[in-house]
C-alpha cells in the first residue's frame, strides 16, 4: 500500500520523478533527526548545485530543521551532517503545522476559540444602521 501511495500521490514521500532524479544524479548528504534524507547533484538554472529532500512520510516543508533549512536554501555550503551543528538557545524544536485542526492557534477573541468571548471595552463602538 505504501508503494501505491508513493507512486500516485506527491504528498506521501516523493514522486516517481524525484526518485528517478535521485537515483540518477543524487548524492546523499545526510539525514536529520526526523528521518528526512537530503541530497545534492546537478546544477540549477542559476548554476548552483541542486539540493532536495526526501521526506520521511508526509511531505511537510515545515518539517525541515533550521540547520538543514539553511543548507537547502544555499545560506551555507556546509551541511549540518558535515559540521557539529547545535541549535541556538532561541531556536524552538519543530512542531507540526496545526493549521486547520482543533490544535491550531486561536488568538483571544477568535470566533473559533471555545468559550465566551471577552466583553467589548470602550475603545470600540459597534456599527448600527442610521447611527
Higher pLDDT, 51 or 15: 51
Query: So what's the pLDDT on residue 38?
Result: 92
What element of type H or E holds 24? Answer: helix 16-25
Place of cell 541530497: 39
pLDDT, mean over the chain:
79
How far are the Cα atoms of 23, 33, 72 from residue 80, in angstroms, in the given order?
Answer: 22, 11, 11
36 vs 58, more confident: 36
pTM: 0.64
d(CA 4, CA 29): 27
- What's the gap between Cα 113 and its chain centre? 25
Amino acid at each position: 500500500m505504501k508503494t501505491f501511495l508513493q507512486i500516485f500521490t506527491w504528498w506521501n514521500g516523493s514522486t516517481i520523478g524525484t526518485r528517478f532524479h535521485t537515483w540518477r544524479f543524487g548524492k546523499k548528504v545526510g539525514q536529520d533527526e526526523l528521518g528526512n534524507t537530503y541530497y545534492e547533484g546537478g546544477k540549477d538554472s542559476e548554476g548552483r548545485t541542486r539540493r532536495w529532500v526526501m521526506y520521511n512520510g508526509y511531505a511537510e516543508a515545515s518539517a525541515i530543521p533550521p540547520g538543514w533549512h539553511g543548507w537547502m536554501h544555499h545560506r551555507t555550503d556546509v551541511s549540518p551532517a558535515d559540521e557539529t551543528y547545535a541549535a541556538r538557545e532561541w531556536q524552538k524544536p519543530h512542531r507540526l503545522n496545526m493549521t486547520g485542526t482543533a490544535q491550531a492557534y486561536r488568538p483571544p477573541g477568535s470566533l473559533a476559540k471555545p468559550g465566551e468571548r471577552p466583553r467589548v471595552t470602550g475603545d470600540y463602538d459597534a456599527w448600527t444602521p442610521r447611527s
